[in-house]
Chains A and B, each alone.
Chain A
Amino acid sequence: MSPIPTPSQTVGPFLAIGLVPLANADLVAPGSDGALWIEGRLLDGAGAPVPDGMLEIFQADPLGRFPPHTEAPWSGFGRCLTDAEGRFCFTTLAPGPVRLDSGELQAPHIEVLVFARGMLRPARTRWYLPGEAELALDPVLARIDEGRRASLVAFARAPARLVIDVHLQGEHETVFFGY
Chain B
Amino acid sequence: MDHDEAGRPGGAGARGATDRADLAPGAARHLLGDKTALGEVDPRTIDPPYDAPGYRSSTRRSPRHPLLVLPPSVAERAGPLLGEGRVGPLDHDLTRQHPGEPIGERIVVEGRLSDGDGRPIAGQLIELWQANAAGRYAHHVDDHRAPLDPNFSGTGRCVTGPDGRYRFVTIRPGEYPWGNHHNAWRPAHLHFSVFGRAFVDRLVTQMYFPGDPLFAYDPIFNSVNDPIARQAMVAAFDLRLTEPAFALGYRFDIVVGGPRPTPLEDER
Contacts and interface: CB of A to CB of B under 8 A. Distances in A.
Interface of A: 1-19, 21-22, 44-46, 48, 50, 52, 56, 58, 60, 66-68, 75-77, 98-102, 104, 106, 111, 113, 115-124, 139-140, 143-144, 148, 168-169, 173-179
B48 A7 contact: yes
B122 interface: no
Nearest to A2: B37
Given A6-B232, A7-B230, A111-B75, A118 B37 contact: no
Nearest to B262: A178
Given A9-B233, A178-B264, A44 B118 contact: no
Contact of B50 (A14, A58, A123): A123
25 contacts: A1-B38, A5-B258, A6-B256, A9-B224, A10-B206, A17-B129, A17-B153, A18-B193, A52-B141, A58-B79, A58-B80, A66-B78, A75-B81, A76-B78, A77-B82, A98-B75, A102-B71, A117-B61, A118-B58, A121-B47, A122-B204, A123-B63, A140-B68, A148-B65, A174-B63
A56 B72 CA distance: 20
Chain B residues touching A, majority SS: loop
Interface string B73-106: 1111011111000100000000000000000000
Contacts of A117: 57, 61
A17 B154 contact: yes
Contacts of B73: 98-101, 106
B51 to A, nearest CB: 9
Contacts of B81: 67-68, 75
Contacts of B258: 2-5
A67 B47 contact: no
A4 B232 contact: yes
A104 B70 CA distance: 13
Interface residues of B, number: 86
Contact of B68 (A99, A113, A144): A144
A69 to B, nearest CB: 8
Contacts of A148: 65
B80 A118 contact: no
Contacts of A175: 65, 68
B5 interface: no
B55 to A, nearest CB: 7
Given A4-B232, A56-B202, A120-B55, A15 B129 contact: yes
Nearest to A57: B199
Nearest to B65: A173
B170 interface: no
What 3 A-B pairs are tightest by C-beta distance, nearest first?
A: A18-B129, A118-B57, A178-B262
